[in-house]
């Protein structure tokens, strides 16, 4: 039977008939504007309707990650600058649909040229455009198909509004032709626990109703399977989910070697949600969510209150706080930064403190004050560290603020190559595989054509992780990993074999990773790690572990 291959982003097995998400309605031909005021009202009403719909979907969602993404989309449509730009297009003679399309096309071009975080949002802009045009023209936006039976959803890509509304009793898995490991489709699929494969060419050639089997762990889509395979796959997935639902304890290998399993969070709500499995702590607290989309920096009191709530909820557990990770690719309006020729390689992360030391000092002071009197074990780390000198200066500032545990993120190859020297001045390392991948392979994280280079199974990336793990073992200091790679249960034993001491991920990915580690001894993990590093490419590395 034919087998299609894509990028695996959410583990699990599923089999059933495939049905495609239909394409959005095409933009109609331009029409003359005879009443500019009425056309302005039509455009404004369309933008308002899209924003209101996104907010309703956000409020109805029980998934925190999905809700936050939808709110962010609604904020784009409600931006007064966007509305003013649309009004200018209407006054220039464009009808509402074409005015909105023109303005969002300009936004899209700006996002793409900025790279990094903003480039990851271009598909969201396309979805906003399509929804607004549909309202303007009175055409309903196509939704997820409803064939009346459980099915595998095929799509060119999925917008957050489509993903958040998926009926998980009907949609068995998601396969997209575009996207990447860090796209919203990937993030939300993992959050929902839905098997998913992205960047899978050839799915448009599969007729609706064709039986397919999806392996979200390896990125394989088998086309034209039989009913027996469908039944066997369903039983296999049910057994996997039952195992994940079993009572859980701390992360450890089969022979009892501890591996702390931690959660990536953006706020205290992410830890307080009763539907999220309990983590052993927080391996990545993204503090930039407090800063984004603001015209002034958060006050010291606001920061203290926000951090203290996280420390309160995480009492008795580790909380690793990442200092502000923003910059040209995640612009902060109050910084008034100019355009940079290559924002991904520009002034971001810790480099912001070179321009304005007071902002980092205020954040470190707020973290220290929030931690005072709390039972949480608070660690602090800086993003985008390239040299030992940068790391040493960061540690000094943490100590001056009264923070006892200071580390750095390994996101730049230079940091991985000098991990032993870094550990001479810091207390721990945390590997951010998302950025480390893009800088190692000179491949933008959201450039779909280069998605294969960003595969976390790339042996060169594993070599850099191994260098960090070996340095940590020699220094007797912890080396964690908080990138998306940590959520892959097949890869988790390999990472432990490379010397990683903790794994941090979306909380819903924790049970699968915990179960995977429990089946391997440390010696087996090291053997698998050596086999993966010796492989010639990611596919061979996966095969070595699957067969090992």
Indicate which residues carry an active-site annotation: 184, 482
Under 8 Å between Cβ of 374 and 315 = yes
For residue 381, give the nearest of 406, 415, 363 by alpha carbon: 406
φ and ψ at residue 39, rounded to 5 degrees? -70, -40
The closest alpha carbon to 176, from 163, 193, 192, 191, belongs to 163
In the block, residue with structure tokens 């039944």: 231
Residue with tokens 């996280």: 310
Task: Give CA–CA dist 416/414, Å, rounded.
Answer: 6
Which SS3 state, helix, strand or coil, does residue 408 take?
strand
Distance CA 64, CA 61 (A): 7
For residue 509, the tally of other CB atoms under 10 A from its CB is 27
**Beta-ladder partners of 481:** 431, 503
DSSP code string of 459-478: HHHHHHHHHHHHHHHHHT--
Nearest to 15 by CA among 133, 151, 147: 151
What is the enclosing helix (H) or strand (E) of 262?
strand 260-265
Distance CA 33, CA 136 (A): 14
Instruction: Give the integer Cα–Cα distance in Å for 315 and 157.
Output: 40
| Cα first-last separation, the chain | 25
């Amino acid at each position: 039977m034919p087998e299609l291959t894509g990028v695996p982003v959410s583990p699990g097995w599923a089999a059933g008939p495939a049905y495609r998400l239909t394409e959005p309605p095409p933009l109609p031909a331009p029409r003359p504007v005879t009443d500019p005021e009425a056309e302005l009202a039509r455009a404004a009403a369309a933008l308002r309707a899209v924003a209101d719909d996104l907010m309703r979907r956000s409020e109805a969602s029980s998934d925190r990650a999905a809700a936050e993404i939808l709110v962010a989309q609604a904020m784009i449509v409600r931006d007064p600058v966007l509305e003013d730009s649309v009004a200018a297009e209407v006054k220039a003679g464009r009808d509402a649909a074409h005015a909105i399309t023109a303005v969002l096309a300009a936004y899209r071009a700006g996002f793409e040229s900025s790279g990094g975080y903003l480039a990851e949002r271009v598909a969201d802009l396309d979805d906003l455009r399509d929804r607004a045009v549909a309202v303007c023209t009175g055409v309903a936006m196509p939704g997820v198909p409803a064939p009346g039976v459980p099915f595998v959803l095929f799509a060119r890509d999925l917008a957050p509004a489509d993903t958040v509304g998926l009926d998980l009793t009907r949609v068995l898995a998601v396969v997209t032709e575009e996207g990447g490991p860090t796209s919203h489709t990937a993030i939300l699929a993992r959050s929902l626990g839905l098997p998913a494969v992205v960047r899978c060419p050839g799915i448009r050639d599969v007729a609706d109703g064709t039986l397919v089997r999806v392996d979200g762990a390896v990125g394989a889509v088998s086309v034209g399977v039989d009913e027996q395979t469908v039944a066997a796959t369903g039983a296999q997935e049910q057994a996997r989910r039952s195992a994940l639902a079993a009572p859980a304890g701390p992360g450890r290998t089969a022979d009892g070697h501890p591996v702390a399993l931690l959660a990536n969070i953006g706020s205290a709500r992410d830890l307080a949600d009763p539907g999220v499995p309990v983590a052993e702590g927080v391996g990545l607290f993204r503090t930039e969510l407090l800063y984004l989309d603001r015209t002034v920096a958060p006050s010291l009191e606001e920061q203290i209150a926000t951090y203290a709530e996280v420390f309160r909820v995480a009492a008795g557990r580790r909380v690793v706080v990442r200092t502000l990770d923003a910059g040209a690719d995640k612009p902060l309006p109050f910084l008034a930064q100019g355009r940079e020729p290559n924002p991904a390689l520009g002034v971001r992360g810790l480099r912001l403190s070179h321009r304005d030391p007071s902002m980092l000092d205020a954040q470190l002071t707020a973290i220290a004050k929030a931690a005072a009197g709390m039972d949480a074990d608070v660690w602090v780390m800086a993003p985008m560290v390239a040299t030992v000198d940068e790391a040493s200066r960061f540690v000094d500032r943490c100590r001056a603020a009264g923070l006892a545990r200071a580390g750095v993120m390994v996101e730049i190859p230079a940091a991985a190559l000098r991990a032993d020297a870094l550990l001479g001045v810091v207390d721990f390392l945390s590997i951010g595989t998302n950025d480390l991948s893009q800088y190692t392979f000179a491949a933008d994280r959201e450039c779909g054509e280069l998605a294969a280079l960003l595969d976390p199974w790339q042996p060169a990336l594993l070599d850099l992780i191994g260098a960090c793990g070996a340095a940590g073992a020699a220094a007797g200091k912890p080396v964690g990993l908080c990138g998306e790679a940590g959520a892959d249960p097949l890869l988790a034993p390999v990472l432990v074999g490379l010397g990683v001491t903790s794994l941090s991920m979306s909380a819903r990915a924790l049970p699968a990773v915990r179960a995977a580690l429990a089946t391997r001894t440390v010696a087996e993990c090291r053997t698998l790690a050596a086999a993966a590093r010796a492989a010639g490419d990611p596919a061979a590395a996966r095969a070595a572990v699957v067969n090992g």
